A and B are shown apart, each in its own frame.
Chain A
Amino acid sequence: MTAIATLPTLTPKDLTSDQEVRWCPGCGDYSILAQMKKALAPLNFPREKTVFISGIGCSSRFPYYMNTYGFHTIHGRAPAFATGLKVSRPDLQVWVITGDGDGLSIGGNHLLHALRRNVELKIVLFNNEIYGLTKGQYSPTSRAGTKTKSSPGGSVESPLRPLSLALGAEATFVARTMDVDIKHLSETLKRAAEHKGSAFVEVYQNCVIFNDGVFDYVADKGTRADNALYLEHGKPLVFGKARDKGIRLNPSDLTVEVVPVKDGKTDGLLVHNESAPEPTLAGLLSRMVHPAMPECFGVLRAVRHPTFDEQVKQQHEQAVKSRGQGKLGQLFASEDVWTVNGK
C-alpha cells in the first residue's frame, strides 16, 4: 500500500486570532465562536480565502476573533460589503455575521436583497431579541410586551420572524439553531458553509446581561424536547420527550397542528422536505412560535438555484465569447471619429 500524503488540516486553534475576546462572561457568542471554528476546521477550506464580514453590534465583533480575513463594517450594511467582495472575488468563502438589530432593523433592506440575489454568502444572524451593545433596547425580534429602556410600557410591535423573512426573500438555504446545542450548532454551520447559494442561519443566542433566559423554553434541556422540533430531511415531524407528538397539516384551513403519536405510528404527519421547490412547508414551519407550537430547529430549506455571482461571471464569459476580450485601444472609437490634420 502506498503512503498517502496527508494534507495539512486546520485546527480550531489555527482559526483563533490573537485578540482578547471581549464579550460578557456567559454570552452565547462564545459558543458560536467555538462551534464556528469546530465546523470550519475539518472542512479545510484555506484560511486565507475565508472572510468574515460583520456590521455593528456584539455579534459583529466576531471577525476580530477569527484568524482569517475580516472586515468590521457599518451598521446593517455587511451583506452589501459582502456582495461586492464575493462578486468580485468568487474564489473566496464569505461569511456575514449579523444580529437581530443589525440585520433586521437598519439592515433589513440589504439582507433582503442579498438573499433575493442568491449571492453565495453564509449569513449568520445572532438573534438575542435585544440590542446588547447599546445597552438593552428592544429589537425587531423582541416579543410583544418586552419592557426595555426604550419600551418601558412594553413593546407594542409584532416581532419579525427572521426565517419567514428569509424565505420571503427567496433564500435558498434557511436554518435555525441555538447557542447551547453545540453539536447542532456546528453541524448547521457546516451545512451553511457547504451550501452553494445564499445561506441564512438564525442562531438563538442568549444575552446574559440584557435579555437573559428569553430562550429558556428551548435552551433548558429539561424543556427542550417538548418545545423544540428538530427537523430531519425525509423524516416525519415528531417531537416531545417521549417522541409522542407530531405535526399534521389540517387540510381544511392549511394550519399546522400538534397531534399525539401513538406507538411510533407517524402516518398522516407532515414529512420534512428541505429541497421542495416551493417553500410552502418551510414557511409553515417558520411561523411556529412558542408556546402555541414547538419551534423548529435545523434546515428548513436547502435548494440549488443559480447564484448571483456565478451568473455575473457567466455573463462576462458570454460577452467575451461573443465580442472578444475587450481591448483598451478599441474602447474610445465607439462613436464616429474624424481626423484633424496638421497644416
Chain B
Amino acid sequence: MAMNVLEKPTVDLPQATIGFCGDSGDGMQLVGTEFANVSAGLGNDISTLPDFPAEIRAPAGTLAGVSGFQLQFSRNEIYTPGDKLNALVAMNPAALKKYVPDLEPGGILIANRDAFTEGDLRKAGETENPLDNNSLSAYRLISVPMTTLTREAVAGNGLSTREADRCKNFFALGLVYWLYERSPDQTLRWIKDKFAKKASLQAANIAALKAGFNYGETTELLPVHYRIGKADLPPGTYRKITGNAAVALGLVTAAGRAGKALFYAGYPITPASDILHALAELRHYAVTTVQAEDEIAAIAMALGASFGGSIGVTATSGPGICLKSEGIGLGVMTELPCVIVDVQRGGPSTGLPTKTEQADLLQALFGRNGECPLAIVAPNSPGDCFTMAMEAVRIAVRFMTPVILLSDGYLANGAEPWMIPDVNSLPPISVKHPTEPNGGYNGTAHFLPYLRDERLVRPWAIPGTPGLEHRIGGLEKEDVTGNVNYEPENHEHMVRTRAQKISNIANEIPPLEVAGPTEGDLLVIGWGGTYGSIRTAVQKAQGRGLRVAQAHLRYLNPMPKNTGDVLRRYKRVLVPELNGGQLCLLLRAAFLVDAVSFSKVQGKPFLVNELEARIDEIVKS
C-alpha cells in the first residue's frame, strides 16, 4: 500500500511514551506488543510495561477488567517505560478512567467514542460522558468512532458483528502507527502469517489496520505526526526480549556451556509460568520439563535431578518460595546445586498476582529454619535476566549450593532490545564429577561426600559412579564423612562452614560499580528491576550538577567485597525499593551506614520524577 506520510508536517521527538488500554478482551496487549516489536525493529530503544488484571475475564467494561500496555520508544538509550504518557488510546470509559491520570497535560487522548454508551459509562462508575462534559479539556481529545469505522472497514469479509468488533484494536494500532510514523508493513506481514488459515479474519484485520492508518492521515484532529529516529545502540544483532524469556534462554545456555542436562520442574504461577512454557518447547535440547503437582514437588524434583547430576531448576513467585522453603533448606543442608527463580509479585499472601514488587529479598535470605545461607542474585533489566540466570547456574555448580534468582513481574513481562551474544564467547562453566574414592578409613578406600576443597566446596559425586556409593540427607552430619552426627562442636563447625562457603562466593563475583562521581553527596543504591528508573533519575540529577552517583547490586548474597567501601564514600545513601525497606535494613546492619529508605509498594515501578524529587530533597537537606 502506498504510504504517504509526508502530507502532514512531521515533528522530530527524542522519545515518546504511549499507552493502549481497554477491556481485557480488546486486544490491547497484542497491539501494544506489536507496536513495541515494530519500534524495536525500526531501531528505537524500547521499554515496555504491560499491566493486566489477575482474572481471566472480569465483567466486560468494568474497572476490574481493564488491561493496559505502556511503552516508551526513543532515539536515545532509555531505561524505563516512561513516567507520563504523551499519548493514550482508550477503548472504553473504564480504561480511560484508570489511565488518564497518567497522561501528561496536553497529551493526545484517542478515545473510542462508540464505547461510551450509557451502559458502558455506568459499568465504569460514570454518571456523565467525559467525552462531552469538558472534563478532559486538559488533554488533546481525539474522539473517534472506532467501532463504527472498523465495522465499515471490515464489511464484506463475512464477519459476525462480534468478530468485526474484535478488529478495532488493529484500527487503533493503525492510527497510532500513522501518528508516530511507523510503517504498518511489518504488522501486515504478521497478520498474514498469524491468520494464514483464516482468510476472512486476515483480510478484516488488514482492512482495520489500514483504515486506522488512513484515518490518521486524513483527520483534521491530528495536524502533525511525529518521528522518533533510530537509537545509537552498539552494533550487533538484536531481538526483543522479555525477562522471562531471557531467564529461560540463560538457563538453557548455562547448562549447555556446562555440558549438562537441564531439568526444570515447575508449578504454574503468575508471573512465572512463561518460563515453564518456554522450556517445555525445547524438547530437542537436553532440557526436560515436568509440571509438578505442587510447588513443593517442584523443588523436590529439581533437587532429585541435581542429585543425579543434572542442573535442577524451578521457578515460581513469592507464595511458591514460601512453600519451597523446607525443600530449599534440604538443598542447602545437602549442598546440592540448584537454581530457584522467584519472579516477585505484590504480596503478602496471594497479594497482587499481576503487579510488580520486590519484597521477597528478606524471605530469600532468611526464609528457612535454622542458619541456612544460600546465594542470591538479581537481574536489573529484562536482558540482564539472561546474564544473571547464567550466573546463578555458574555459582550453583561452582559452590554446590542452591541459588535464588530474584526477578520481578516488571522484568518478567517487560521488553527491551537485547543484543544476541555469540554463544562461543560466553564463559564456559566447568563441572567435574569425581570417579575415584577421595579418602579412606577402617583400612578401606571410601568416598567422603563432605571432603571439601580450599573454597569449602564438596565434591559432586553422582549415582551410577562405582565405588562412590554414599548417602546424603537433611540431618546434621559429621564434616568430611557425612555420617549423621549430633555432636555440639560438629554442629557449630558445620553451621560456620556452610556460612563461610557462601561468603567465599564473594571471591568470584565482580566488584560493585558506581555510575557517577566515586565520592559525593549522595549514593542512590538499589537492586533488581528498579535499575532503569534509578539510573534515569540519577542521570538527570547529575545533569543538574548534583554530586550524585548510582550503584546497583546484582549479587545480594554475598554482596561484592567492596560494597561497604563504596557506601562509606558518600555523605548520604538512599535506597529506593519496591518493598518496605529490605535492602536498606541489610545495608544498615552489615555496614553500619545510615542508609535511608525510599519505599514504594503500589504494584508499579518507580517514576523517574518521584525519585528525582527525593534525590533533590536529600541533597538539599
Tell whether A and B belong to one assembly: yes
Where the two chains meet, the residues of A that have a C-beta atom closer than 8 Å to any C-beta of B are: 17-19, 46-49, 51-53, 63-64, 66-74, 77, 80-89, 91-92, 109-110, 112-113, 312, 315-316, 318-320, 322-326, 328-329, 331-333, 335-343
- For residue B330, which residues in chain A have a CB less than 8 angstroms away from its CB? 73-74
* Contact A340/B238 with A109-B294, A331-B249 known, Cβ cut-off 8 Å: yes
Other than the known A48-B467, A340-B234, what 14 A-B pairs have Cβ atoms closer than 8 Å? A63-B471, A64-B484, A69-B469, A71-B471, A72-B472, A77-B327, A80-B298, A81-B300, A85-B463, A110-B296, A319-B284, A324-B284, A326-B285, A335-B239
Please, which residue of chain A has its CB at the minimum distance from the CB of B483?
A: A19
> Cβ of B468 < 8 Å from any Cβ of A?
yes
* Set A74, A320, A342: member contacting B235, Cβ < 8 A: A342
Whether A68 lies near B304 (C-beta < 8 A) is no
Query: Does B420 lie within 8 Å of A69, measured CB to CB?
Result: no
Please state if A77 and B235 are interface contacts (CB–CB under 8 Å): no
Chain B residues within an 8 Å CB radius of A112: 293
Across-interface contacts of B326 in A (CB, < 8 A): 74
Which listed residue, B241, B304, B423, B466, touches A329 by the CB 8 Å rule?
B423
Majority secondary structure, B binding face: mixed
Residues of B within 8 A of A316 (CB): 283-284, 288
Known: A73-B330, A83-B290. A48 touches B304 (CB 8 A): no
24 contacts between A and B (CB under 8 A): A19-B484, A48-B463, A48-B469, A49-B464, A71-B307, A73-B303, A77-B297, A81-B303, A81-B304, A83-B304, A84-B301, A84-B305, A85-B304, A88-B263, A109-B293, A110-B296, A110-B300, A324-B284, A332-B249, A332-B420, A336-B37, A338-B43, A340-B234, A340-B235
The answer, yes or no, to whether B282 is at the interface (CB within 8 Å) is yes
Closest-CB distance, A171 to chain B (whole angstroms): 16
Query: In the complex, what's the smallest C-beta–C-beta distance from A169 to chain B, in angstroms?
Result: 12
Contact of A113 with B293 at beta-carbon distance under 8 Å, contacts A71-B471, A340-B233 already known: yes
Find out whether the CB atom of A339 lies under 8 angstroms from the CB atom of B238: yes
Bound complex: CA A335 to CA B190 (Å): 12
Contacts of B252 in A (CB 8 A): 328, 331
- Of B265, B305, B466, the residue contacting A48 (CB under 8 A) is B466
B257 cross-chain contacts in A, Cβ below 8 A = 328
Q: How far is the CB of B317 from chain A (nearest CB, A)?
A: 20
A320 vs B285: C-alpha distance when bound (angstroms): 8
Q: What 1/0 flags go to B278-291 for Cβ under 8 Å of A?
A: 00001111111010
Q: Does B125 contact A (CB under 8 A)?
A: no
| A residues in contact with B466, CB < 8 Å | 46-48
Known contacts A70-B471, A88-B263; decide if A339 and B463 are in contact (CB<8 Å).
no
Across-interface contacts of A73 in B (CB, < 8 A) = 300, 303, 330, 473-474
The stretch of B129-137, B138-146, B308-316, B540-548 in contact with A is B308-316
Residue of chain A at shortest CB distance from B265: A84
Q: How far is the CB of B36 from chain A (nearest CB, A)?
A: 11
Known: A71-B307, A340-B235. A89 touches B471 (CB 8 A): no
Tell me the complex Cα distance, A53–B235, Å. 52
Determine if B307 and A81 form an interchain contact, defined as CB atoms under 8 angstroms apart: yes
CA distance A69 to B471 in the complex (A): 6
B101 sits at the interface (CB 8 A)? no
Q: Complex Cα distance A315/B240, Å?
A: 30
**Across the interface, do A80 and B474 meet the contact criterion of CB distance under 8 Å?**
no
Chain B, 399-455, CB within 8 A of any chain A CB: 420-421, 423, 442
Please, how many angstroms separate the alpha-carbon atoms of A19 and B233 in the complex?
Answer: 63
Closest to B253 in A: A328
CB-based contact A92/B297 at 8 Å: no
Q: CA–CA, A332 to B442, complex, Å?
A: 54
Give the chain B neighbours of A52 by CB distance below 8 A. Answer: 471
Number of chain B residues whose Cβ lies closer than 8 Å to a Cβ of chain A: 71
Determine which of A18, A69, A335, A340 lies in contact with B463 in the assembled complex, contact meaning CB atoms within 8 Å. A69
Contact: B471 with A85, CB < 8 Å?
no
Give the docked Cα–Cα distance between A261 and B235 (Å). Answer: 90
Pick the contact of B290: A87, A110, A319 (CB < 8 A). Answer: A87
In contact, B464 and A91 (Cβ under 8 angstroms): yes
Give the residue name and chain of the A residue nearest to B241 (CB): A335
Which 9 pairs between the two chains have the least Cβ-Cβ distance?
A72-B473, A84-B304, A84-B301, A80-B300, A70-B471, A326-B285, A319-B283, A81-B304, A342-B235
Residues of A within 8 A of B472 (CB): 70-72
Q: Does B516 contact A (CB under 8 A)?
A: no
Q: Report the Cα distance A49→B484, complex, angstroms.
A: 23
> Given contacts A67-B469, A70-B471, A80-B297, are A328 and B423 in contact (CB under 8 A)?
yes
Roughly how many angstroms separate A258 CA and B249 CA in the complex, as a whole number?
63
Q: Contacting A85 at CB < 8 Å: which of B253, B308, B483?
A: B308
Inter-chain CA distance A320–B369, complex, in Å, is 43
Name the distance in Å between B336's Cβ and chain A's nearest Cβ: 9
B473 adjacent to A80 (CB under 8 Å): no
Give the residues in chain B near A81, CB-CB below 8 Å: 300-301, 303-304, 307
Closest to B465 in A: A48
Query: B235-279 interface mask toward A, CB cutoff 8 Å, 1 = contact, 0 = none?
Result: 111111100000001001100110001010100000000000000
**CB–CB B239/A84 < 8 A:** no
CA distance A110 to B294 in the complex (A): 9
Nearest CB in chain B: distance from A336 CB, A? 6
Residue of A nearest to B475 (CB): A72
Among B237, B256, B471, the one with the most A-chain Cβ atoms within 10 Å of its Cβ is B471
Cβ–Cβ contact A338 & B40, under 8 A: yes
Contact partners of B283 in chain A: CB under 8 A: 315-316, 318-320
- Inter-chain CA distance A110–B468, complex, in Å, is 29
Least Cβ–Cβ distance between B232 and chain A, in angstroms: 8
B41 within 8 A of A: yes
**Nearest B residue to A321, CB-CB:** B284
The answer to whether B43 touches A340 (Cβ under 8 A) is yes
Q: Which residues of A contact B420 (CB under 8 A)?
A: 332-333, 337
The distance from the CB of A223 to the nearest CB of chain B, in whole angstroms, is: 38
Tell me, yes or no, whether B194 is within 8 Å of chain A by CB.
no
CB pair A92 B304 closer than 8 Å:
no
- Closest Cβ of chain B: how far from A35's Cβ, in Å? 20
Are A88 and B288 CB-contacts (below 8 A) given A19-B483, A49-B463?
Answer: yes
With A89-B308, A323-B284, A329-B423 known as contacts, the answer to whether A74 contacts B294 (CB < 8 A) is no
Whole-angstrom distance from the CB of B223 to the nearest CB of chain A?
Answer: 32
Contact A68–B239 (Cβ < 8 Å): no
B37, B249, B304 pick with most chain A CB within 10 angstroms: B304
Min CB distance A99 to B, Å, is 16
Determine which residue in A323, A324, A326 has the highest number of CB atoms from chain B within 10 A of its CB, and name it: A326
A72 to chain B: closest residue by CB: B473
B194 to chain A, nearest CB (A): 13
CA distance A168 to B542 in the complex (A): 68
Q: B302: CB under 8 A from chain A?
A: yes
The distance from the CB of A261 to the nearest CB of chain B, in whole angstroms, is: 45
Q: Please, which residue of chain B has its CB at the minimum distance from the CB of A106?
A: B296
Minimum CB–CB distance from B309 to chain A (whole Å) comes to 7
**Residues on A with beta carbons closer than 8 Å to the beta carbon of B241:** 335
Asked if B470 is at the interface (CB within 8 A of a chain A CB), the reply is yes
How far in angstroms is the closest Cβ of chain B from A53?
A: 7
Q: A77-B296, A332-B420, A340-B234 are in contact. Are A84 and B312 (CB under 8 A)?
A: yes
CA distance A326 to B257 in the complex (A): 13
A80 vs chain B, min Cβ distance (A)? 3
Cβ distance A109 to chain B, nearest Cβ, rounded Å = 6
Q: Contact: B470 with A69, CB < 8 Å?
A: yes
Q: Using CB atoms, name the residue of chain B closest to A338.
A: B41
Q: Evaluate contact between A17 and B301: CB separation under 8 angstroms.
A: no
- B467 near A80 with CB under 8 A, answer no
Kindly report which residue of chain A lies nearest to residue B41, judged by CB atoms.
A338
Kindly state whether residue B499 has any CB partner on chain A within 8 Å.
no
Is the beta-carbon distance between B463 and A51 smaller than 8 angstroms?
yes
Residues in B with CB closer than 8 Å to A325 are 284-285
A339 near B256 with CB under 8 A, answer no
In the assembled complex, B155 has its CB within 8 A of some CB on chain A: no
Most buried by A among B234, B249, B464: B464
A113-B293, A326-B282, A328-B256 are known contacts. Are A72 and B300 too (CB-CB below 8 A)? Answer: no
Nearest residue in B to A83 (C-beta to C-beta)?
B301
